[in-house]
Structure formats: structure tokens, C-alpha cells
Structure 1
């Protein structure tokens, strides 16, 4: 029998999300019913509602979540009722070409999930979701391979951030770029992902970690998470590129663009070493934007590439991140700056747009 649940529904055009009663079907044989306990608010959710990211609306967004398993289909083996879990941002079906090739962050089920009937209906019509998580609803149904069990003592609010903001930042440094000990690192954009890049660069043993942001109030958090230097470009009397070159005595070994701004990305490319430098585009720009770079940017050995969920494997790398958190090597609790009720979700997005939050979390 379908159950009635409360969900924040996105309508697009930048309109406020509305809290609605929607219906959720029971789990199929390979699916799980989860009661959400916490959901992070991510810039991607904001972009979708503003029309900057392709998804059919109305929809239930939200892709950073944690909760408790209530019910399992008869074929589910990896979780059981009562387990505390995080809802992975990307699935791991284990048998598609990507999963077999160890490119599990590109599991083909990401696309196939959009072709399956939604578990939610609203006013008698199917209601689209972002991926399978739909963490802006009080309950959700998803395939069991989207779940990872977490220790019962881990705070739901901190755990909810692992599948996207934490995984993307940590993975970009440790699994994609593989930052070397003693190296120099530039990080643009000191939000949730940028802070995770900073603390992962520290974990990797980077020697100089330079945080760059136009919001002066982010300096304290940047240094807490591992920055050795903080630069507000608006405070400089010289071009940013000249200032960084003077600080480092040359170009940087690594650069991470976490803003989603193509002009910033162009600058990041030019500021890494032309022979061995690595620049990662971590932030997500609007899909209709293009970037132009001089051909000489790639003449020697400079590498420029993107990353999706930090190139992390949700099965093998999520436990690593949880272990680093338990060992005190990664700060997750400090990422949560605002705890909000579900009906305060629009306030969370306003905090995000004003740059006043690291991560706002909906607590159910």
C-alpha cells in the first residue's frame, strides 16, 4: 500500500520549493524503504531549480542524505531493517561496463534510473526525482546498492554530507589528482567542496595550501581545514596571478576550481606548472557556458581534467572516508553550519546564495 510522505517539491524558474503531501509506493524485491533523518543542501539542487541543470520538473531533489532502513525487499542482502545508512549520490550496480572497469562513479544506472517509473506520485501523476535518493522527502525508496551502512554513533547530519560534498572534495585530491606530499595546491571557492579539498590536501601532506575566495569571512574555516594561506582577490593591489607566483616562487603543482566559473577555471589552468601541473575542474558551471584556452596551455605536460564525485568508488572509498572521520583525520561535523526543519528549506537556499553557510542540513 502506498504511504503518504512530506516532500519539498521543486518547480523550477527559481521559485521557492513547496512542502507537499506525496505518495510513495512500497519497495520492490531489490529495493529498500528509508526514513530520512538528515539531508544536505547542495548547489546542484539550487542550479536545477534555477534551470541551470537539465532535469524535468516538478521533482523531488536532494542527493545528500542519511537515515534508517525501515523495510527491505526479499532479495536485499547488504542492509537490514534498523540499519543506519547513507544514500549514495551515485549507484553501484556492479555489472555495467563502468562498474566492471572500475569507473564506478559513472555507473550506467545513473541514466537508467531516469527511465524507470518513479516511486513517488503527486496528484496522481509520477513525480521525478534527482537520481534515486530524493532526500528532500521524509521517506524514500531506492535500490539497495545505493546504500552504505554507517556506525550508529555517527551523527546523521555529518553522515548526510559524505555522498556528495565530502566525496567530491576528498576524491578530487586523493583519488583523482593524487596530490603528492610536499606539493603546492591552489583551491578556488571555499564552500563545502573547497573545504574538503583543503583538508584532503593536508591529509596528503601538501606543503603549501592556498585558499582563494572573495568572501573574507571564510578565512577562519579555510585555515581550520588546512589552508596555509588565504587570499581574497579583492584585497590585492596586484593581479592575483602575480601575487600567487610571488608567494610560490613560480607556478603551483595542483589547482582545484571549486566555484563553477569558467573565468576562474581559465586562471587556474594558467597558474599550474606547464610541465607537470594538474588542474581539476571540480565546480559545476552552467551547462550552456564554454571555455577557451590557448593551445600552448597543453603543449608540454600540463593536465586539465574534470572529476565527477571525486572519481570515488562508493563501495570501497566510502568506508575509507568514514574511517578517516573516526580517526579524526577528516572534519565532517564542522561542515554543518545550519540545522533547519524541512519547511525551512528555502531559508537554507537563501543562506547558500548569500554565502553565509558552509552546509545547511535539513533535520527530519
Structure 2
């Protein structure tokens, strides 16, 4: 095939490009982003690969337009350019950027739903800008989508808020957890661990952490999990129902090999309970969620990351006050933009000791 990394006019920066299904390549001739009057350009200082990135690499059809562009959506960095109408940010500010950059100048936003069709995520934008794994990153509507990082917050704390915490906290918010509720978190990778932390902060009682790695069980305990269920010990539905003396109030689906995990969440949840799906199952055909009877009298929601300036500032406040420590997710640190592909490989299951790697595009620390 003809390389999508061929020379193009105005190409001035490096970025990790999705060349074709299953293959990324470091390109050095990507066009630098252009800043509009309400926008900003940041220089990423730290990035964090996500399992969603690995899913996109294997299933690029899931995000039309991503081929030929830098991918990535978790980053924090320094502002290097602002538009003439940006009021609250200036060059040099240290900022966090949400994994989904929303367009608040839409009817959807006015109706209370900011994630419009031209939302930027995974490197896809209304004007086809590059993703976060590049030397510069475009941020639409900067005053609404950026958040200043307080001096007391580390880079690693901040970058874990841009997707991992914001996704999980949104899932827990949608679960409408009452104090003392029982909650099962299925899959305790980075998203699941943040869901455990969010459930504990929301007042949940028994929190079942379901996984297989001891490293993740240990961190889940620090975040507030009370019970630990291993896939290796048999059917997780039966284990949860037995331990809880009946179905749980809510199940949060944060992982699994395929969407049958959603069925498990439904089966372990009581009538009038809630099942929240935070996992992505991009590589399979649609499947029935569960037997019809198990959906009756239950609420099911599949939740996409909801993040903006206000949400990021709330999360930063929680970290600043010591309510939770998102940096515990970080298990590996790499340096240099050229290390991004190695970090992606870690997120693809190549390293069982990896929960979340970060790559510093600037000095580590």
C-alpha cells in the first residue's frame, strides 16, 4: 500500500500514526495544528496509552477518519498557543486535557448533552486534527475544555484524571449509588480501579473487586474494595451472589473478553438495580445483552467518558484534598515520544505487571 506518511505541505511535527489496521508508525511530517480564535495548542508533557487506543488500532473502522493520523487521547502539557478569544488560559500554563474534547456551541450542549457529533476523541475531530501522541495537540474551545493543574498536583496524578477517573466517576454517577449499597466492579484494570475508588467516595458499602491479578487486588483494597473475586475460582456471578447473600445493587462492567461480560453484570444485579458498562467491545458483532427477563426492572446504561473543564477541576480538587490517589495506577514510566509505541504494547497485554504506563515527552517528574 502507499504510505499515509508521505510528505505533505506544512508537515512539521512527529506523531504516532495509525497507518493501517494493526500497525502504527512514528511519522515526522505531520501537519501542525492550527489554532482558531477560541482554541489552544498544547505541547504534551505526559501521555498515557489506553486500551481504547489498542482497540482502535485493531479496529480502525470503529472511529472513521482515524487512519493516517496520530492517535491518543490522554495527555497533560503546557499551553504554547491560544486564540484571540481565549480568556482563562495563557502560554506557559500547565493544563490537563479531557479525553473527549466537547463542542459546547451546539444544540446538544444546550440540551444538556455536550458530546456532539464533532467531539474530538482518539484523534478524530471536526477539522481532522491529530491525536495526543504528537508533539503538539489541538484543543477546541479551550476555556471550556482545559483545566489548570495546581502546583501540588503531579503530572501522573493529573493525566490519570483525563480519562481513567473521569470515565469511572461518570459511570458511578450514573449508577445512582446510595450509601451502603453493594457494588460489583467487573474488571479491575485502570478503569475498574478508578470505579472502585469512585464507588467508595459515593458511599457504597460492600464493593466487590472482580479480576485475577494480585497487584490489582492490592490497589483495589487501598481504594476501598471490601471483597475480592477471582475469575480463576469459578463463575463470578455465583461467587458474587453467594458472598453478598443475594444480587448486588449495582454492577459496573469495566472489562472482559467480550460483551458476554454485560450478561454477567445483569445476572448478578438485583431487580431495580443498575448495570453500567464502561468497557469497549469494538472487535465483535453486536450480541443480545441478556435474556429479556433479566433486563426487566433493571436499568442498563453504556457510558462514554464525560469530561470537561468543570469535571476536571472537581477531580483535581479531590486529589488536592487527598480524597483519592489516581497515581497508584501508574506502574511503568517511559521517556521520549519514540517510546509511545512500546507503552501501547504494554497496554495490549504484553506485560501482566502493567496497569497503566505513562510516557514523558519532557523530563520525567
Q: Same fold (TM over 0.5)?
A: yes
CA apart distance, 1:247: 0.6
User: 1:91 touches 1:107 (CA, 8 Å); kept in 2?
Assistant: no
CA apart distance, 1:29: 2.2
CA distance in 2, matches of 1:20, 1:328: 40
User: 1:103 touches 1:313 (CA, 8 Å); kept in 2?
Assistant: no
Q: Any idea what the Cα deviations from partners look like across 1:103-148, whole Å, max 9, x if unmatched?
A: 22x23431799574445xxxxxxxxx3xxxx210121233224322
- TM-score, with structure 1 as normaliser: 0.87
CA distance in 1, matches of 2:345, 2:283: 22
User: 2:12 touches 2:28 (CA, 8 Å); kept in 1?
Assistant: no
Q: Any idea what the Cα deviations from partners look like across 1:58-115, whole Å, max 9, x if unmatched?
A: 22111111111112121211311121111122234333122112222x2343179957
Q: Does 1:185 align with 2:161?
A: no
CA distance in 1, matches of 2:168, 2:277: 11
Q: Any idea what the Cα deviations from partners look like across 1:278-329, whole Å, max 9, x if unmatched?
A: 0011101125422322111133x211111111xx452332211111111111
CA distance in 2, matches of 1:111, 1:155: 25
Please, which moves more after superposition, 189-198 or 16-25? Answer: 16-25
User: 2:319 touches 2:325 (CA, 8 Å); kept in 1?
Assistant: yes
Aligned to 2:293, which of 277, 291, 296?
296
Name the counterpart of 2:54: 46
User: 2:99 touches 2:307 (CA, 8 Å); kept in 1?
Assistant: no
CA apart distance, 1:49: 1.0
- Residues 169 and 65 of structure 1, relative CA distance in 2, 3 Å threshold: same
CA distance in 2, matches of 1:107, 1:136: 23
Q: Any idea what the Cα deviations from partners look like across 1:175-215, whole Å, max 9, x if unmatched?
A: 21121110101011111110000001111121100111133
CA distance in 2, matches of 1:35, 1:4: 14
CA apart distance, 1:8: 1.5
Aligned to 2:323, which of 329, 334, 337?
329
Name the counterpart of 1:71: 81
CA distance in 2, matches of 1:110, 1:70: 22
* RMSD, matched Cα: 2.3
- Residues 227 and 19 of structure 1, relative CA distance in 2, 3 Å threshold: farther
- Residues 138 and 158 of structure 1, relative CA distance in 2, 3 Å threshold: farther
Aligned to 1:349, which of 333, 344, 353?
344
CA distance in 2, matches of 1:116, 1:183: 41
- Residues 155 and 2 of structure 1, relative CA distance in 2, 3 Å threshold: farther
CA distance in 2, matches of 1:320, 1:356: 30
Name the counterpart of 1:135: 132
Q: Any idea what the Cα deviations from partners look like across 1:239-277, whole Å, max 9, x if unmatched?
A: 332222111110000001111521111011111002x21
CA apart distance, 1:346: 2.3
CA distance in 2, matches of 1:25, 1:168: 26
User: 1:29 touches 1:75 (CA, 8 Å); kept in 2?
Assistant: yes
User: 2:152 touches 2:320 (CA, 8 Å); kept in 1?
Assistant: no
- TM-score, with structure 2 as normaliser: 0.87
CA apart distance, 1:2: 5.5
Q: What secondary structure sits across from 2:31 in the alignment?
A: strand
Name the counterpart of 2:18: 10
Aligned to 1:201, which of 199, 202, 207?
199
CA distance in 1, matches of 2:96, 2:157: 10
Q: What secondary structure sits across from 2:270 in the alignment?
A: coil
User: 2:18 touches 2:68 (CA, 8 Å); kept in 1?
Assistant: yes
Could you tell me which runs of 5 or more consecutive residues in structure 1 were left unpaired when the two chains were aligned.
Answer: 120-128
CA distance in 1, matches of 2:104, 2:113: 10
Q: What secondary structure sits across from 1:41 in the alignment?
A: coil
CA distance in 2, matches of 1:195, 1:111: 25
- Residues 25 and 320 of structure 1, relative CA distance in 2, 3 Å threshold: closer
Aligned to 2:98, which of 75, 88, 93?
88
User: 2:208 touches 2:229 (CA, 8 Å); kept in 1?
Assistant: yes
Q: Does 1:20 align with 2:49?
A: no
Q: How many residues are aligned here?
A: 343
CA distance in 2, matches of 1:31, 1:117: 12
